[in-house]
Amino acid sequence: MKKLMYLLLVATLLSGLVAIGTACGPTPTPGPTATPKVVEKIVVITPTPAPKRVTLIITGPSSGETGYKVLQKQLERFTKENPNIEVKIQEMPWSSTLQHDMFATWSAGQLPTPDILRLDIVWPAEFAAAGWVISLDDYIKKAGIDMKDFLEGPLSGCTYQGKVVCLPYFTDAGLLYYRKDLLEKHGFKPPETFADLKEQALAITKKEGIKNGFVWQGDAYEGGTCDLMEYLWGNGADVLDDKGNVVIDNPKAVEALSVMVDYIKSGVSPAGVTTYKEEDARNVFQRGDAVFMRNWPYAWAAMNAPDSPVKGKVGAKPMVHGPGQKSAATLGGWNLAVNKFSQNPDEAFKLVAFLTSAEIQKGTALGAGLSPTRKSLYKDADVLAANPFWKDFFDIMIGAKPRPVHPRYPEISSVLFTEAHKALTGEQDAATAIKNMAKKITDIVKK
Amino acid sequence: MRFLTTIHKRGLSQIQLAALLMLPALIVIFLITFYPLAQTFLFSLEDYNAKFATARKFVGPANYIKLFLDPDFRAALRQTLFFTVVSVSAEFVLGLLVALVIHRTFPGRGLVRAAVLVPWAIPTVISARMWEWMYNDQFGVINDILVKLHLISAPVPWLGQPATAMWAVIVTDVWKTTPFMALLLLAGLQIIPEELYEAAKIDGAGTWQRFRRVTLPLLRPAILVALIFRTLDAFRVFDVVFVLTRGASGTRTLVVMNQEVFFSFLEFGYGSAISVLVFVFVALFSFLYMRGLGLRLETA
């Protein structure tokens, strides 16, 4: 009997392990609600005598980030203008991968909150295909929002099968930062091609005794995909074509990945770059330990802060590219969508329109340093006075390209950064990596 | 009480009464363990992506077949087994040494016992983040020391290359869980009566013989419990890997893979199949341990 009890105990402990699988699964909901396929939302506006009081929840930055206070102020103003709507911020972790997984779990469970989801530029296709966010077309028409003022890149990222499913909130694009002072001192012009960068990095590190030539995001995560895409595009290759065919199996792609591998092998980049994310690269560059860095616009403000060792010594330009090719920047940024299961979609859209309006975006740009998604703001005198470099960034922002648009994007991205990382660490050569990517992504797209 | 006496009078036997009294507990156990287990198993027989819930359909063993053909799964299984065997062995040996030391009486023993437990008390996410910084190639303390001692000529990105990443993860895990192993073994040591050692001494047994013939056999139940606990935990390792490498550079263990399949890809069917296999492996390990250590459970 004792033995039996013991076995039972062990079995109980064991089965608890498997529970992770189901504990977070979608809760079975009664009725036919388990078919979230339709993206449209039929809106019947009946004349209501008095606006109902509602509380909205929006996902936002954590209270430690600068953007939090700015958003809080904007929401206070929104409530003043719409006294019947109160808004609460749900703080989210910094990592976009973690945010994705939280959103996906909530949406798969058909949670009505948060009402407004802040989506990374690569998610709208997935969320729209899954039926987790509503189409905003009717709302946009009714509210008369000037869609032409939005940058094309972010807007196309928000469009799935011809329907707008979110509005661009702020944008991002990959940049090449360089040490102006060092390049001038050694008589170099900012590099244009992959080879230029290698030559300059090797020459300057050797003469100046600086530890690293070029730092970037080589870790196996979403940022790794962003970096990889810039090499692919900058060398005339791509992952998917306009029709969604897999086109990565291409000598140009192998060449592009080989450039990244060569940067590590030849000492242009430290071997440890295979563990770097944005902040790791910025830490190294900001301490003056690197000549070049690939990063997002956010890094500019930190590098030019009063206590920064490289203050005033940094320039930014579009990413380097292959011979005879053009530079490419990966499009980043965040967008606001309305949760399909929200009980207050009308009010939620009102808030989305408010936060993405030119006036509010201007406040976000000035207060939190986030790049606006409205073209008009790149000509705004106040914005340019606070961020003079944005005038130069405009072309990069306009030209930034979206990562492969697909409902199964997380799987595609995982293949890209995992296989690329294996090439960067020398586990496989670039040609094998590209072959594997092609094969695996073809399988994913076929599903 | 009257209720019990009435049903007793109605002719319920002792065993039936016992069963009745245990029923609530059994129902709870059923709901929180066997139900999820069964549900996971049922999911594993479906092609079920939570993103495309309408396309959900029953596919039988297809997920398992796909799993065995998936080179990523085989790699994850290999890496998990490697991690488990190496980390648990190291933790066992080190944990036993620590337990033997802190079992002895010496001045300041209480302080040492408390100090030994510190790594275990720190949440894994925090200690893993700490190790991540220590392993950093630019400002990590490990590279700094090794370079200054001229043991290496240039900093090594410990977590960024397949040759060292898994070892770096194992070192972190061993540092963190050796105290737990020591604690379990210490509990086992403390119930061994002192007289046995005295008797062995009188019979002329040396230190090694006393350890070999008295300590080890009597410690067996504690060893079994400690090894089962640690093996199961190690096989399901997630947090330390997730923080240090997120599975890059040849450290992708089964549960790290499973987390990605479940919560990034939302492949509930395929993910459940992985969960079920992890369960089967873990059950197998427990069985082998009980067999291998030849332990009659009554003595535990």
Whether B33 sits inside 8 A of A426 (CB atoms) is no
In this prediction, residues B86-109 reach a mean pLDDT of 92
Q: B1 vs chain A: nearest CA distance in angstroms?
A: 27
Q: Two tokens at B247? A: 């599975």
Residues 405-424 of A with CB under 8 A from B: 407-408, 410-411, 414, 418, 421
Which pLDDT does position A384 carry in this prediction?
84
Q: Which residues of B touch A35 (CB under 8 A)?
A: 53-54
User: Nearest 5°: phi and psi at B46?
Assistant: -115, 150
Q: Indicate the helix (H) or strand (E) that contains A90.
A: strand A85-91
- Please report where in the chains the tokens 């929180």 appear, as a residue: B32
In this prediction, residues A146-170 reach a mean pLDDT of 91
Q: Please check the confidence at residue A31 and state whether its pLDDT lies above 70.
A: no
Buried b (16+ CB within 10 A) or exposed e, A176-201: bbbbeebbeeeebebbebbebbbebb
| Of B294 and A222, more confident | A222
Which pLDDT does position A10 carry in this prediction?
47
If we measure between CA atoms, which residue out of A288, A295, A290 comes closest to residue A310? A288
Buried b (16+ CB within 10 A) or exposed e, B221-231: bbbbbbbbbbb
Q: Is A244 on the interface with B (CB under 8 A)?
A: no
Which pLDDT does position A251 carry in this prediction?
95
- Which of A97, A220, A289 is closest, CB to CB, to B138? A289
Q: A384 vs chain B: nearest CA distance in angstroms?
A: 35
Per-residue pLDDT of A331-375, as tens digits, reads 999 999 999 999 999 999 999 999 999 999 998 888 877 888 998
Q: Please check the confidence at residue A21 and state whether its pLDDT lies above 50.
A: no
Per-residue pLDDT of B3-35, as tens digits, reads 555 555 666 788 888 888 999 999 999 899 899
Q: Indicate the helix (H) or strand (E) that contains A167.
A: strand A167-173
Q: Which among A8-12, A174-178, B223-227 has the top mean pLDDT?
A: A174-178
Q: Is B282 on the interface with A (CB under 8 A)?
A: yes
In this prediction, residues A77-82 reach a mean pLDDT of 93
Q: A21 vs chain B: nearest CA distance in angstroms?
A: 6
| Of A398 and B279, more confident | B279
In this prediction, residues A297-307 reach a mean pLDDT of 82
Whether A6 sits inside 8 A of B161 (CB atoms) is no
What ipTM did this prediction achieve? 0.81
DSSP string, B26-68: HHHHIIIIIHHHHHHHHHTTEE-BGGGGGG-EE-TTHHHHHHH
Which pLDDT does position A47 carry in this prediction?
56
In this prediction, residues A212-232 reach a mean pLDDT of 94
| Of A242 and B81, more confident | B81
Whether A18 sits inside 8 A of B249 (CB atoms) is no
Burial of B210 (0-12, 13-18, 19+ CB in 10 A): middle
Identity at A301, one-letter amino acid code: A
In this prediction, residues B280-300 reach a mean pLDDT of 74
- Which of A18, A425, A426 is closest, CB to CB, to B275? A18
Whether A21 sits inside 8 A of B36 (CB atoms) is yes
Whether B162 sits inside 8 A of A418 (CB atoms) is no
pTM, to two decimals: 0.81
Residues 69-108 of A with CB under 8 A from B: 97, 100-101, 104-105, 108
Please answer whether residues A417 and A257 qualify as being in contact, where contact means their C-beta atoms are separated by less than 8 angstroms.
Answer: no
In this prediction, residues B153-181 reach a mean pLDDT of 93
| Of A70 and B290, more confident | A70
Q: B5 vs chain A: nearest CA distance in angstroms?
A: 26
Angle between helices B71-103 and B109-121 (to 10 degrees): 170
Whether B157 sits inside 8 A of A274 (CB atoms) is yes
Buried b (16+ CB within 10 A) or exposed e, B149-172: eeeeeebbbbbbbbebbbebbbbb
Which pLDDT does position A366 carry in this prediction?
83
Whether A12 sits inside 8 A of B33 (CB atoms) is yes
Which pLDDT does position A37 carry in this prediction?
47
Give the contacts of A401 (CB within 8 A, at least 6 positions apart).
A153, A229, A233, A328, A329, A330, A331
- Please report where in the chains the tokens 């590279």 appear, as a residue: B143
Search chain B and give the residue with CA nearest A289: B138
Q: Which residues of A touch B33 (CB under 8 A)?
A: 11-12, 15-16, 19
Radius of gyration of chain B (CA): 25
Q: Rounded to an integer, what distance in angstroms lies between the CA atom of residue B193 and that of residue A147?
A: 82
Q: Rounded to an integer, what distance in angstroms lies between the CA atom of residue A286 and that of residue A302?
A: 8
Q: Rounded to an integer, what distance in angstroms lies between the CA atom of residue A23 and that of residue B272?
A: 11
Q: A19 vs chain B: nearest CA distance in angstroms?
A: 5
In this prediction, residues B43-58 reach a mean pLDDT of 87
Residues 184-213 of A with CB under 8 A from B: 211-212
B interface test, pick of A3, A18, A412, A421 with most B CB neighbours within 10 Å: A18
A2 confidence band (pLDDT: 50, 70, 90):
very low
Q: Which residues of B touch A218 (CB under 8 A)?
A: 160
